[in-house]
Structure formats: C-alpha cells, structure tokens
Structure 1
C-alpha cells in the first residue's frame, strides 16, 4: 500500500466516523450540530443513555425515523461500543433513507 492510498483510506474513514471524545466535546459545547441516536434496544436504553440522545433502534428507523429526525441535520449513531455493529447498521439504514449519518 502506498502512502497516498493510506491517506485516502483514513480520510474516507474519518469522513463518516467520529469518536467518543469528539461527540462529548460537541455535546458539552451546547448545540453539537447533530442529533445523537442511541440504536440499542429498549432494555438497554432504560439502563442508561447519553442525555439528549434520541432512542431509535435500527428496526424502528422505517417506522419512526422520519418523525424523530430532521433529514437536514446530521446524525451520529451509537450502541454499546466500538465492537458493536448496531450503530454502523443504523447509520447505513439512515443513509439509505437520505439522512447524513456518522458512526
């Protein structure tokens, strides 16, 4: 792999992913400029969630997504942690529906 290929790969990845510290800093600053979406199931949501997050499990995106989200506002999805693909699957579903999504 060339250096140019590596740079392109990392740039593409960062265009669609963020990390916990960046999300926390944006939330602490007030209006973060995105909607934070918790994609976990109801039991997990009730155990605890990030204040201000919207609860929208992936299976509910077709049913409740248009009602809960502004398509013009970027969305950041999360689930249990970096090893959980739930946030990635939800971001994909939202992107397919026309929402600007990051994981």
Structure 2
C-alpha cells in the first residue's frame, strides 16, 4: 500500500525522490526542533571564544578520557555519574552542552537525557570530540 500523503510521483531508481519531501511548515518545524536540542562544534567554539556565560560545556566521557584531551573550557561530568545529588549542584539558569567521543558514541545523548529529566536545559554537540578535532579547535589536557 502506498501512502499518497508522503509519496512523490515515481522516480525510477531514486531513493531520495521516492518519498515526497515535507511541506514548508513541517520542514520548518522539524529543523527548528532539531536546533533546540543540537548544536555543532563551530557554534560552541564561537561562544567559548566570545566568553558566553550562559552555557556550560560538559565532557561526559570517563574522567581518564577527559584528562587525555577535551574541548578547551569544558568541564568533566561523566554521564555514568549523573545522579540527582550530582545534578543538584548544577546551575538551573545555564544551558548545558554535552559531548562524547564522536558520532558513534551515545554518551552525549545519555547525558542530555539525564540533564533533561532533572529539569535542566541541554543541547548535544553533534559529532562530539571527533568533530571538534576535525575543525582544528583547541584541545586541553589535564594532569591528574
């Protein structure tokens, strides 16, 4: 059965055009919702460089990984340690930007869920540390 609401006229062999694109209102709503939950390394780097104080960047990988190299200016808060007692110490006025290893790591998402469930505002940095490094942005190292 073909869903005529989402089907485009047949395009021989096209995987892209085989399903009609969203109309303008639906597409606009979808992409605006994405930006409310996601950001990218370029925007995070810009805000760090500009001294933006309304956000806190959280490296949610294990502490050892953070110490070996992290986004300059990020705080370490491994997602496995995000308990209500720990989250109670976070400022509810800030927006928290989470990141993990890269696009194959769901740590940033897990952390974003924990922060959201606790009532904090959060965005995930797409691509994690991998995409940050690809852009050539500074990596900081910590000594134990």
Relative to the length of structure 2, the TM-score reads: 0.66
How many residues align? The count is 102
1:26-74 per-position Cα deviation (integer Å, ceiling 9, x unaligned): 000113420110000122112111222111111111142222x211211
User: Unmatched 5+ residue regions in structure 1?
Assistant: none
Report the equivalent of 1:66: 88
Q: Which consecutive segments of 4 or more residues in structure 1 shift more than 4 A? A: none
Distance in 1 between residues matched to 2:102 and 2:112, nearest whole Å? 14
Distance in 1 between residues matched to 2:24 and 2:104, nearest whole Å? 27
Which is richer in helix? 1
Distance in 2 between residues matched to 1:60 and 1:76, nearest whole Å? 16
SS at match of 2:81: helix
Report the equivalent of 1:20: 41
Q: Which moved more, 1:18-27 or 1:35-44?
A: 35-44
Question: Is residue 49 of structure 1 aligned with residue 66 of structure 2?
Answer: no
SS at match of 2:82: helix
Alpha-carbon RMSD across the aligned residues, in angstroms, is: 1.4
Q: CA 1:32–1:20 in structure 2 vs 1: closer, same or farther (change >3 Å)?
A: farther
Q: CA 1:82–1:32 in structure 2 vs 1: closer, same or farther (change >3 Å)?
A: farther
Report the equivalent of 2:109: 88
Relative to the length of structure 1, the TM-score reads: 0.89
Which is richer in strand? 2
The structure whose Rg is larger is 2
Distance in 1 between residues matched to 2:54 and 2:104, nearest whole Å? 25
Distance in 1 between residues matched to 2:47 and 2:53, nearest whole Å? 5
